[in-house]
Amino acid sequence: MKTGILTIGNELTSGRVQDANSAMIARAMQEQGWPVAAMLSVGDDDAAIHDALAFLLDRVDGLVVTGGLGPTADDITTAAVARAFGLELYTDAEELGRVRAFFEGRGFSWTENNAKQAIFPQGAEIIPNPRGTASGFALRRGDKIVTVIPGVPAEARRMLFEGVIPIFRKAFPEAALHVETVTFKLFGIGESAVDDALADADFDGLGVGLGSYPNFPEIHLVLTARENAPDVAARMLREAGERVEARLAKYIFAKNEKTLAENVARRLTEKGLTLSVAESCTGGLITDRLTDIPGSSAFLERGAVTYSNAAKTALLNVPEEVIRDHGAVSDETARIMAEGVRTSAGTDLGLAVTGIAGPSGGTEAKPVGTTFVALADGNTTVCRSYAFRWDRRRNKVVASQVALMMLWRYLSKGSRSDE
């Protein structure tokens, strides 16, 4: 069973509003195992809607249309759909009563244009709107179904799940497969190298779909299995997941909706470890990411954004001569920053980053993007150097990512990489 989405509104084709419904509906269709063949947006225009319906109904079995069901003059979707299908319009007395009651119940004054929301094409099955005035409707045309719901995202979402999907499931019972997905989040490897690594994994043979989605600076791999029996889909997915982990374990830092900062925060909390952070080029981005996680005050004692050399000396006890002899961006300085913040904060761990974010400040020996990341635990201090080649913002993002990855790997010793 193929599906399509048509979103209608001048606010979409003018770029004034970003279409939030298409992705939401597409995801719901995908989860049901009904691939979306096309998503189309047109303005509030009779001919454009007619064309769009014809194009989509040639290609799909079930179509979801949103938008243009309101009371104003530019809301023409119902009339345009009826005309495209050669159907007359009628006013539904029950719906008219409901819309009037909606207004009266909220003390809004009734204006006659609202009666428009009780008009439907002949033969339509009405899809109730529990959150607003404009109900939707479904029409059959041969073995195809068109459903029309409002464009207001909160209304569209609810009517999709309570109206459209049940109608589709009933009309296309054979297509109501069980769908399972799992996402692996990776860092430190490029998209083409991921492709190479998985070349022999034979997901097709397993019947599992694979998608790779770059999400700077991460890559998200999504595995999808569709089966009649939930346990079969789950088993296929488990097997496919093991093939991913066997090939790419060291790059995986999270599964599904979890973020790197969230996983780092969880491990620190589980192990009862405290952390302090010293940041130069990342400018506070590492602690910003960590403090996005509720409860981060349990492990994060402090962060020091030591942009000046004086601050490195005052807050982190980096000796002036180390900066003079090796530079503020150096292995030596990074190590002392990590140890210094750890000692002064009295935490279990100290994490430090120093680098040149650019666009200026680079030298031949240390070009823009040169970055040192260090982690101190009181016994040992490790430090790694990197040469990033992005713009200033992305150099910061990727530097914060390598620092959090260093922490994640440290905290994951002896654990499964993605738990």
Query: 291-320: which residues touch its own copies (CB under 8 A)?
Result: 291-292, 294-297, 300-308, 310-311, 314-315
Query: With CB under 8 A as the contact rule, which of the stretches 50-58, 76-84, 234-242, 249-257 interacts with its own copies?
Result: 50-58
Query: Count residues contacting its own copies (CB under 8 A)?
Result: 102
The nearest distance, CB 229 to its own copies, in angstroms, is 22
Pick the stretch among 16-24, 90-98, 138-146, 265-273 that binds its own copies (CB under 8 A). Answer: 16-24
Out of 79, 193, 232, 273, point to the residue binding its own copies (CB under 8 A).
193
Which residue, 145 or 315, has its beta carbon nearer to its own copies? 315
Query: Cβ of residue 265: shortest distance to its own copies, in angstroms?
Result: 12
Q: How far is the CB of 312 from its own copies (least distance, A)?
A: 9
The window from 108-116, 158-166, 246-254, 331-339 that contacts its own copies (CB under 8 A) reads 108-116
Q: Choose the binding region for its own copies from 93-101, 104-112, 238-246, 375-383 (rule: CB under 8 A).
A: 104-112
Burial class (CB within 10 angstroms; exposed 0-12, middle 13-18, buried 19+) of 181: middle
Q: Which stretch binds its own copies (CB under 8 A): 29-37, 158-166, 168-176, 406-414?
A: 29-37
Q: Which is nearer to its own copies, 154 or 249 (CB)?
A: 154
**Minimum CB distance to its own copies smaller for 29 or for 159:** 29
Positions 55 through 74 that interact with its own copies (CB under 8 A): 55, 59, 70-74
Q: Which residues inside 234-293 make contact with its own copies, applying CB under 8 A?
A: 277, 279, 281-288, 290-292
As measured in angstroms, the least distance from the Cβ of 71 to its own copies is 5
CB 110 within 8 A of CB 103: yes
Neighbours of 134 (CB within 10 A): 26
Query: What's the min distance (Å) between Cβ of 199 and its own copies?
Result: 9
Q: Rounded to the nearest whole angstrom, what is the least distance from the CB of residue 377 to its own copies in the complex?
A: 19
Binding mask 395-414 for its own copies (x = CB under 8 A): -x------------------
State which residue, 32 or 381, has the beta carbon closest to its own copies.
32
Q: Using CA atoms, how far apart are residues 171 and 295, in angstroms rounded to an integer?
A: 47
Of 171, 24, 46, nearest in space to 5 by CA: 24
Residues in 141-170 at the binding interface with its own copies, rule: CB under 8 A: 152
351-370 residues in contact with its own copies (CB under 8 A) are 357-361
Residues 203-222 that bind its own copies (CB under 8 A): 211-214, 222
Binding of its own copies by 225 (CB under 8 A): no
d(CA 274, CA 411): 12
Residue whose CB is less far from its own copies, 75 or 418: 75
The reply to whether 118 sits near its own copies by the rule CB under 8 A is: no
Residue in 86, 88, 143, 192 binding its own copies, rule: CB under 8 A: 192
Contact 148, 56 (CB under 8 A): no
Residues 320-349 close enough to bind its own copies by CB under 8 A: 344-346
Give the range of 111-119, 140-148, 166-174, 200-208 binding its own copies by CB under 8 A: 111-119
Backbone φ and ψ for 18, nearest 5 degrees, come out as -85, 135
- With CB under 8 A as the contact rule, the residue among 231, 363, 393, 419 that binds its own copies is 393
417 touches its own copies (CB under 8 A): no
3-state secondary structure the chain: CCEEEEEECHHHHCCCCCCCHHHHHHHHHHHHCCCEEEEEEECCCHHHHHHHHHHHHCCCCEEEEECCCCCCCCCCHHHHHHHHHCCCEEECHHHHHHHHHHHHHCCCCCCHHHHHHHEEECCCEEECCCCCCCCEEEEEECCEEEEEECCCHHHHHHHHHHHHHHHHHHHCHHHCCEEEEEEEEEECCCHHHHHHHCCCCCHHHHCEEEEEEEECCEEEEEEEEEECCHHHHHHHHHHHHHHHHHHHHHHEEEECCCCHHHHHHHHHHHHCCCEEEEECCCCCHHHHHHCCCCCHHHCEEEEEECCCHHHHHHHHCCCHHHHHHHCCCCHHHHHHHHHHHHHHHCCCEEEEEEECCCCCCCCCCCCCCEEEEEEECCCCEEEEEEECCCCHHHHHHHHHHHHHHHHHHHHHCCCCCCC
Decide whether 50 or 235 has the Cβ nearer to its own copies. Answer: 50
CA dihedral of residues 161, 167, 171, 173 (deg, nearest 10): 40
- Of 123 and 390, nearer to its own copies (C-beta) is 390
